Amino acid sequence: MDPTSAALLSLTDVSVVIDGRPILQKLSWTVETAQHWVIVGPNGSGKSTLVRLAGLQLHPSSGSLHLLGLELGRVDVRPLRARIGLASAGLAAQLRGRLTAEEVVKCGRTGALEPWWHTYTEADTSAALRALDRVGLDGFADRSFATLSSGERQRVLMARALVNDPALLLLDEPTAGLDLAGREELVSTLIGLATDKLASVLVTHHVEDIPPTSTHVLAIRGGAVVATGPIGPTLNAEVMSEVFAMPVQLERSGGRYTARALR
């Protein structure tokens, strides 16, 4: 067994180069069971690339990635992907608006975008309904995706990511495009999901999106780690100023963060 097998997810000296351009540079990061990580950084810092790696959608150019003790590149990734739930704002654009919330979530059982590509059972339907209830959307099963608010759509996508009871939940900027009410509803949902059985990773460039249940932070800039560790001592004004290359004032109250630029 690989020594990294004690970790749920482990990246060691991982670099990603796309079209000759370095996106991530010798980045090392470990996620353990029951940890709730936040990845913060400016646009173009490599956050989404890192999520694609964690979701086994991309191979590193160099370095190693282990999930559940198994190394990417040495195993069949298909069964491993079933242990990961991934939700991103970009997925919403790929889904037909006429699909019901139940269909969107149920298709997550097979990773499909349309229900007719696979045959689904009553167990699949029950799993979809449980996932919708888990994100506070009980009674929304028959609502068409197009009629939902932006915040409700994001929670449907979160339910889709949860439908297979994954060990790791990846959320790539789920609050993008949401108004204040939608963001707060989503944060409340994340608080409710902070259980001992599920590890999570939230990608954002707004500290206001960070739930108070977050346990760890990874701050990156230019594809490199600026700081990483338990969120309380690690996420501070000095780190945020380095990440965003400007003086930043950071405040925390009731477990929630606010930030503003100092001019």
Domain that holds residue 158: 90-165
Please report whether residue 143 resides in a domain. Answer: yes
pLDDT in tens, 77-117: 777 888 899 988 778 888 889 999 999 999 988 888 888 88
Examine the domain organization and report whether 159 and 172 are in the same domain: no
Q: At residue 75, does pLDDT exceed 60?
A: yes
Residue 3 lies in a domain: yes
Please tell me whether residues 16 and 79 are part of one structural domain. yes
pLDDT at position 3 is 41
Q: What is the predicted pLDDT for the residue at 224?
A: 95
Question: Looking at residue 205, what is its pLDDT?
Answer: 87
- Do the beta carbons of residue 14 and residue 66 sit within 8 Å? no
When the pLDDT of each residue in the chain is averaged and rounded to a whole number, the result is 90
CB 247 within 8 A of CB 48: no
Is 29 a member of any domain? yes
| pLDDT exceeds cutoff 60 at 4 | no
CA 7/CA 77 separation, integer angstroms: 17
Residues in the chain: 263
Give the model's confidence band at 68: pLDDT under 50 very low, under 70 low, under 90 confident, else very high.
confident
Residues 120, 136, single domain; the answer is yes
Residue 1 Cα distances to 6, 28, 72, angstroms: 10, 20, 14
Q: Is there a single domain that holds both residue 158 and residue 204?
A: no
Cβ proximity of 16 and 24 under 8 Å: yes
Q: What Å distances lie between residue 246 and 60, 106, 259, 260, CA to CA?
A: 30, 44, 12, 10
Please report, rounded to a whole number, the percentage of residues in the chain having pLDDT higher than 90: 65
139-189 pLDDT, tens digit each: 999 999 999 998 999 999 999 999 999 989 999 988 888 889 888 988 998
Say if residue 126 is in the same domain as residue 52: no
Q: How confident is the model at residue 14 (pLDDT cuts 50, 70, 90)?
A: very high
Identify whether residues 28 and 77 lie together within a single domain.
yes
Q: For the chain, what is the domain count?
A: 2
Q: Is residue 203 in some structural domain? A: yes
Q: What is the pLDDT of residue 196?
A: 65
- The pLDDT value given to residue 6: 63
**Looking at residue 26, which CATH number applies to its domain?**
3.40.50.300
Domain end: 111, 134, 165, which one? Answer: 165
Same-domain pairing of 1 and 59: yes
- Note the pLDDT of residue 231: 97
Residue labelled with tokens 């097998």: 5
